[in-house]
Amino acid sequence: MSRRPSFPVVCAFLALLCHRVAANTEIINFLSEQQRSVDLPRPAIGNWATLNFSHNEQQWSLQPAPLGTPLHEVCETDNEVSPTGQMTCPHQVWVTLDLDDSSWANYHAFTLRLSWPASAPADFLIELYSPESLLALLSRRQRHISNPDTSHIRPPSSGESSTTYTKYARIRVVDAGVPTPQIQQPGHTDSRLSNLIVVEPVPFILILEQLYWGVLPASLLPTIGFLVPVLLVTAMAIPRIIAYLDPFVQQARQDLKNKATLEKKGQ
């Protein structure tokens, strides 16, 4: 006997599925940990957006790197860090994840979720850096510049013992779509221009949330809170439904048997 899922459960799962279909999602789950705090150069990180407990969601728009660029090579060129120490690549965004808020003190597992419209063909890469690994990356980049001005990058002072949970997320995007030739302007005869590929900036939303019991994103809690009672009620109702239907099934079986016997006699 196959137990088919009840109607409310099917509806709930369909709603979840539809939610997925409308957008693509990239997720990174991570554990927060106490890390040594380091002095990061203000010019580089000063204007990065911050996600924190009270402001855990923000929308951006990024110009994808050209089709075919390997994600790990996006924004890896030497001139990515300007002489003032700012990162200037248009295909990436850096976000500070401020996990030091006391409201998050009891949580150690977090999820960073990036969603973008399914209509925008793009691939995203999310990477997390601790303050120390970020400093190492910045120092490496600075050395590539012909006229390095590293005075504002200070090595972590050895006497410093302060710690932080803050992490830094690096998000890069590459075009994954079918190239669309630019619509030719009337009267434009330059064939090179008509071959130019137009790639629109991709809008996306980034959400940082704690994970309950290490697995359940905070925003899914209401859905689970709805599904659990529905599933419990369904589970309790199934034996009753079977008990209710059983006499009918027995009766139908008996009728079939009788019919078969009659047909045999009639032959």
Ligand X SMILES: *[C@@H]1O[C@H](CO)[C@@H](O)[C@H](O)[C@H]1NC(C)=O
Gyration radius (Cα) of the chain, Å? 29
Closer of 168 and 174 to ligand X (Cβ): 168
CB of 55 to ligand X, least distance (A): 4
**What's the DSSP call for residue 199?**
-
**What's the DSSP call for residue 197?**
B
Select the span of 49-57, 68-76, 159-167, 230-238 touching ligand X (CB under 6 A): 49-57
Find the binder of ligand X among 2, 34, 54, 146 (CB under 6 A).
54
CB of 112 to ligand X, least distance (A): 15
Helix (H, G, I), strand (E, B) or coil at 34: coil
Closer of 98 and 123 to ligand X (Cβ): 98
Find the binder of ligand X among 29, 47, 50, 119 (CB under 6 A).
50
Select the span of 31-39, 48-56, 159-167, 198-206 touching ligand X (CB under 6 A): 48-56
161 is an interface residue for ligand X by CB under 6 A:
no
Phi, psi at residue 246, to the nearest 5°?
-55, -50
59 is an interface residue for ligand X by CB under 6 A:
no
CB of 98 to ligand X, least distance (A): 6
How many helices (H) and strands (E) the chain has is answered by 5, 11
In sequence order, what are the residues at sequence separation of 6 or more whose Cβ sits closer than 8 angstroms to the Cβ of residue 35?
A: 130, 131, 132, 163, 164, 165, 166
The DSSP annotation for 138-191 comes to: HHHHHHHSSS---TT-PPPPTT---EE--EEEEEEEEE-S---BPPPPTT---H
Find the binder of ligand X among 52, 139, 164, 223 (CB under 6 A).
52
CB of 201 to ligand X, least distance (A): 22
47 is an interface residue for ligand X by CB under 6 A:
no
CB atoms within 10 A of CB 251: 10
Closest Cα to residue 130, out of 30, 26, 25? 30
**Total site size for ligand X, rule CB under 6 A:** 6
Find the binder of ligand X among 19, 55, 253, 257 (CB under 6 A).
55
Closest Cα to residue 75, out of 166, 178, 195, 173? 173
185 is an interface residue for ligand X by CB under 6 A:
no
Closer of 29 and 50 to ligand X (Cβ): 50
Give all strands of the β-sheet with 122-129 in edge-to-edge order: 49-51, 92-97, 167-175, 122-129
164 is an interface residue for ligand X by CB under 6 A:
no
Give the footprint of ligand X on this chain (CB under 6 A). 50, 52, 54-55, 98, 101
